[in-house]
Structure 1
């Protein structure tokens, strides 16, 4: 295995190479390895980001899979940048793997569409709100230092997003219940409302509230986020999180289903103007 865990870019490249073999050829792992004159183990490790792959090896794989032209050039060029590590890597040994992976994907995303059922989106949370959320999630089973590490990571995540030369576009829909659930008391919540109002004024942010009065909608089953990336060859990813683990969905049809659901929810939610008016009312209480 590599001396250090694979970077997010290495994982993305590995996933795309595996997807190309499975979707553009009839070759199974053993057959592809034989055609490449590699061992099955070598190809498997490349496809699972357990072995670094060189640009020349990427080119050989793409030639076999019938990928040519601009798409091939883009993937080979991307393979030359995969060892770049980001700010989130400093947290990889102190946070759950799923969350550290999500931070890396979010940091590389060009746009984010997110529905949150129980909480304000992490990129919009104040430090106090994050502290009380984290403390409630970890309960009494984790030391204070663990809570502080999580809060620090979330604040670093926000800072990195806002300071990017071209910040990812964020469209977030939050359930009304999340805004009325007191996390840390009235002062903490009023500061949180004001923070959302401030961020929603940015040109790359759209904020909506899903009112309780809207009734049933696709998001009642839980929160999810859809991430899109600047590289055309990289498929969109859906992230679904629960209490102890996370699920990444890359199947094109399933991602499309989530995208359609999100669009429907956007139509059912309050408009951005109505949503901010609700926040203003809550902040005055």
Structure 2
């Protein structure tokens, strides 16, 4: 499967470029808005991603910023790509915020999970079990849509150049009996199989490791091919909310945290052996 440009990434790249161009002119966002006859918050909302840049809005901005013809063509192309729909738009009611759009173009995904097997490695039966547990009032159609959306995400690992996926799993995530013995045995078997993939590394963080830096919860670090264009982001989530962090200091903090987790966890080869052993210990 070929990689398709992510509208989410293109929209982020566009807003970062618009901020860079404004800084180059030495104007404040309020000054730009006043010159263009816009509401004073309109420019800053574009730059923060709180509002979408519309086709009619871009030309006056580029005229004011006195961009070159080459820059204009590039930014117009970014806007066009940003306005396209990714496959995930069809599941906007059941997928978290813009995360899938950020994930879609990542070249490296580093994730720590304390309670669940990561979504990219979940079996369909495991997905159904956790969806039913988390959405007790959902009807069958809603459950099916959530499951379909989560399974569609897994195509990421089948693209022509899949991302490098590094997972640190708390032992609790692989010991908890989700969906019953048959479902859990199948999920553990899937993890063992994933350990053999050349672009996947899995480490188990054992109970014996004691206290660690990420006891506050799960997180994912998404990195991209060209950090100067697309800096890495941190994604935090729980059942009720999601949060994307983009500031350098935030990313540095979580990158260091992930390094500490890897150092405390069992190495990938022994983790694969442990997962296989736990699978055999699941009762019939």
In the TM superposition, residue 167 of structure 1 has moved relative to its aligned partner by 1.1
CA pair 77-161 structure 1, distance change in 2 beyond 3 A = same
C-alpha contact (below 8 Å) 2:221/2:235 kept by paired residues: yes
Matches within 5 A, 1:92-107: 92=92, 94-95=93-94, 99-107=96-104
The corresponding residue for 1:127 is 124
Match of residue 230, structure 1, among 225, 228, 239 = 225
Matched, 1:256 2:256: no
Cα 1:63–1:117 shift into 2, 3 Å: farther
For residues 259 and 9 of structure 2, what CA distance do their matches in structure 1 show? 28
Give a deviation string over 1:206-242, Cα, whole Å, max 9, x none. Answer: 1111111111111111000011123431221111112
- The 1:200/1:58 distance shift into structure 2, 3 A limit, reads farther
What's the offset of the Cα at 1:20?
3.6
Deviation at 1:10, TM superposition (A): 5.0
Preserved CA contact (<8 Å) 2:113 2:219: yes
Quick one: distance in 1 between partners of 2:223 and 2:130? Answer: 27
What's the C-alpha RMSD, in Å, of the aligned pairs? 3.0
Q: Which has the higher helix share?
A: 1
Aligned counterparts of 1:168 and 1:62: Cα–Cα separation in 2: 36
2-side partners of 1:61 and 1:165: how far apart?
41
Alignment TM-score, normalising by the size of structure 1: 0.83
Alpha-carbon separation, structure 1, partners of 2:83 and 2:267: 42
- 8 Å Cα contact 1:45-1:51 kept in structure 2: no
Whole-angstrom distance in 2 between the partners of 1:17 and 1:61: 14
Cα deviation per residue 1:11-41 (whole Å; 9 max; x = unaligned)?
4135424654798786432123346x45246
Q: What SS does the corresponding residue of 2:220 show, helix, strand or coil?
A: strand
Native 8 Å contact 1:200 1:206 kept in 2: yes
Counterpart in the other structure of 1:91:
91
Match of 1:182 in 2: 177
Query: Which structure 1 residue ranges, 4+ long, deviate > 4 Å from structure 2?
Result: 21-27, 53-64, 70-77
Q: Structure 2-normalised TM-score?
A: 0.83
Q: How does 1:1-285 map to 2 (within 5 A)?
A: 7-9=7-9, 11-17=11-17, 20=20, 27-34=27-34, 37=36, 39=38, 40=40, 42-44=42-44, 46-47=46-47, 48-53=50-55, 78-92=78-92, 94-95=93-94, 99-138=96-135, 140-158=136-154, 160-231=155-226, 232-285=228-281
